[in-house]
Amino acid sequence: MKQQFRTLDQFIIEKQADFPCATGGLSRLLRDIGIAAKVVNREINRAGLAGVFGETGTVNIQGECQQRLDVYANEQFITALKRGGECCAIVSEEDEELIAIDPGILGNARYIVAIDPLDGSSNIDVNVGIGTIFSIYRRVSTGGMVRPEDVLQKGNQQVAAGYIIYGSSTMLVYTTGNGVNGFTLDPSLGEFCLSHPDMMIPDHGRIYSVNEGNYIRFPEGVRRYIRYCQEEDLLTGRPYSSRYIGSMVADFHRNLIKGGIFIYPATTAAPNGKLRLIYECNPMAMIVEQAGGAASDGQTRILDLEVRELHQRSAIFIGSKSMVEKALEMMEVYSDVYQS
């Protein structure tokens, strides 16, 4: 039977109707993100012609060289969220401080958005898949400007999470805690249309994604797992294929559809891990768990980690459940071994 055609806006409205007490604020916020994604997608697609490739000559709070499109994407999402009226604060990878929005202007805005406006931006100049990652929390304090407890919430308190991947086609994938759905942008309509309903990650895959150039700096458990992936075993379908794009969104999206594991572990050079907890690890962890997968920092479930600061870093093991469990098993067995 032919799948019923539904746009992102139609789908959001339908889902809102499932909750009689819903005020519509979260629905409007998700639509605001979708609108900003269309604007960013347009600019990415014309970047070479418009001369917006390359670095700005500045660095962000992470110590990373900012690309011109990093800055553009950040501005577009912040503008859309401010104008939408549902967001009271924004945490962005590109800004050192919390962006608090005056409640006097927006009234009853109840949501905090944490966002990586352009993940994998080092790949922009070579036309490789990049993306946006976002996380949404509900404010817990009342009255006045937002407080630290509003922002530094555990990942298990997220009310929604998602990502946009700008590639051969542009997709928006999101969850509100009731499954995962994917929408592909139809350029002829200018609309995100439901293309991947009820997404589930295979329990097992044959792809592992890790930057093996850092192998010598990895914990012994990660090195043992990589060797395990490379060993031949017909019963388990090994050796697995190594696929690493260098854009978390792109690697994650492929593994979500085909099955696999993405690993960005702590290293001797980055003992706390490198990816950001609030706006990279937590949203992806919520998505993968809703799709039947798993996410851990190597010891603790990602969504249960304490959040102490805006740009806190974390290691991550994320993907097909059985693959993550095998990696964590090796992390535990070799936890006291630091050199092979």
Name the binding residues for substrate.
119-122, 211, 244, 274
Q: CB count, 10 Å around CB of 52? A: 16
Judge if the upstream peptide bond of residue 202 is cis by omega within 30 degrees of 0: no
From the annotation, which residues make up the binding site?
A: 93, 116, 118-122, 211, 244, 274, 280
Contact 227, 220 (CB under 8 A): no
Distances (CA, A) of 224 to 216, 309, 333: 12, 32, 10
Q: Rounded to whole angstroms, how far apart are CA atoms 302 and 289?
A: 10
Q: How far is residue 201 CA from its own chain's centroid?
A: 15
Query: Which H or E element spans position 239?
Result: none
Cβ-based burial of 247 (10 A; exposed 0-12, middle 13-18, buried ≥19): buried
From the annotation, which residues make up the binding site for Mg(2+)?
A: 93, 116, 118-119, 280
SS in 3 state form for 84-150? Answer: HCCEEEEEECCCCCCEECCHHHHCCCCEEEEEEEEECHHHHHHCCCEEEEEEEEECCCCCCCCCHHH
Name, in order, each residue with C-beta under 8 angstroms of 49's C-beta and a sequence gap of 6 or more.
none
Please provide the distance, in angstroms rounded to a whole number, between the alpha carbons at the two ends of the chain.
56
